[in-house]
Amino acid sequence: RLRTVTGAAQEVAGITRTHGLLHIFLSRGTARRLFWLLLFVAALIGCTVHLAKLVQKFTEQSVESQLKLGSERAQFPDVTICNFKPASASLIRWNIYHDYLNKSWGNFDNWFQEDTKKRPQESDESYEDRLETVCKKLLDVMWVSGDTRDISHLDKTMLLSCRYNSEPCSHKNFSLVQTSRFWSCYTFHPDPGQSSSGSGGRGAELDMVLFTDETEFVDVASATSTSIKLRPIHNRLKSTPSRRCSEPPIETINYVRHFSNASLNVVTKAYSKSVSDFVVEAQQSILHSNCGCYSHLLPFSVNTSDLCYFAPPQEWITPSDAVLKRIDCHDHWFEHAQRQSDELAKEFQHRMWCQFTQQRPWQQSRRWPPFSAIQEIWENLMVPQVRHGVEFLPEDGKEHHIFRNMNQSRQYSQILPFLNDDDCMSFFCNHSHKDYYYCDTLLIQLYLKQASGCIERYTLSRSLASVSVSLQSPAADVYKEKAGYHWTEALSEVGGTLGLWLGISVVSTFELLEFFYILAQRCRGGTTGSESEGSPD
């Protein structure tokens, strides 16, 4: 057996390219053979350690980052306009609004009666804070019912002027987004064919003049001209052990974007799921499992009749115990769900987007409009809106509860607070002591342009804002991650390591396989190499 193994080894050693083996088997002196054996064993240990380091490096899945400036076509983003003050300041001066609250809601006298009473030895400050919380709950009940659509800002009255890439745009380019925080927001959707380039090789640009109604927008102040330049960066991330992402996104979800008339007309929009969306779903599940309804304070994908704060019209004046119980249950479990946010996020941390776009904004504001421009804005932007105002008609696609029987436009109501000159108002309103509801509408529309001298210019300037949103360049930057140690590189280094330490290549591997094959054949036949060669076929 020993002679068989030795013979096969000597035969392979004579042709192998593996360093050391040739010297081990062909050396005649014991000292030389022992030297090469020790050297081969040392090389084998060094190769094993080196290969272990390479395997560790490969399993770490390191990532290399690369930033290319202006290397891809930019995309103009959707721009959403939200007003910090949801209710229209000029509109709530109308008696029709207060009459509606009294007739339909009973001025909320029967809502949260225990919470509206002052408690013994309660400070005035604490009582006011508690009333503010109750007021917020009442507004949320109204919002879920859909009534707040009528008293919040309308895109048709808020948008005095709109141009996208120097071309006219209007409220038809905006879609309604209803949120409990801002009530009515409006999102501008750019023309896909003009999504990156503007005139003169510049980036796409959206220019608007807004009637703010003496309130503030989220990123834009009244009485200012604000320029927001965006520098988009396209992110392409690599999945790592600490951040797993899927491409394309593994799931999408439909959130309610617009609702009206107790959810009979619901419009949804699909979003690719992010970690926050998974958390929202988990939080909504907590609320539904405990209260049988969902929260309006989180994005939802159900009809508003399934929301905890929903009250059917027949219960607006006197809410039932079931409605009040659902609201109390919501408030308790919503706080619990919010406290679970971090833990829920960890459960879904591995689900993230691989590709997304970030907008790096640069914003600059200045006082606007100048005193000399107010008359021009009045005559060219506001007066035409009043003369061609859009009535509250069913065909506008929205359900109106409060103003469905109006014969006057919203544009008409928003200009009256600025006509505070006594002589002007007595002319328009027939000496009615500025009672807006008895003013001669036809007379106002006929002579409104000539009445520019009646307006309070300082008050009007505080209700206007100019906004410009533009791409800094038609090209976007690209941030890309790729594997820092690819499998092809790992294979090359493994080959180099085996060659460095042992002199083994792909061919050498087959030589070793051949050695074991010859050894197995001769051991099975019980012959040495010389005997095999001398035996007849």
- pLDDT tens-digit readout, 335-344: 999 999 999 9
Q: Are 367 and 289 a contacting pair, CB within 8 Å? A: no
Question: What's the pLDDT tens digit per position in 15-31?
Answer: 565 656 666 666 677 78
Indicate the residue type of 89: A
DSSP for 342-388, please give it.
HHHHHHTTT-EESEEEEEEEEEEEEE-S-GGGHHHHIIIIIHHHHHT
Q: How far is CA 125 from each of CA 112, 129, 284, 329, rounded to the nearest angstrom?
A: 19, 6, 34, 27
Of residues 204 and 146, more confidently modeled: 204
pLDDT number for residue 280: 96
DSSP element (H, E) containing 202: none
Question: Is the model's pLDDT at 418 over the cut of 90?
Answer: no
Per-residue b or e along 465-490, where b marks 16 or more CB atoms closer than 10 Å to that residue's CB: bbbebbbbbbbbbbebbeeebeeeee
Positive or negative torsion for Cα 373, 374, 379, 383: positive
Summarize pLDDT for 171-217 with one digit per residue, the tens. 889 988 988 888 889 999 887 776 777 777 788 999 999 988 866 66
d(CA 166, CA 171): 16
Going along the chain from its start, the domains and CATH numbers come out as 1-61+486-521 (no CATH), 74-238+355-480 (2.60.470.10), 240-245+275-353 (no CATH)
Does this model's pTM top 0.95? My answer is no
What pLDDT sits at residue 157? 82
> Residue 4: its pLDDT value, please?
66
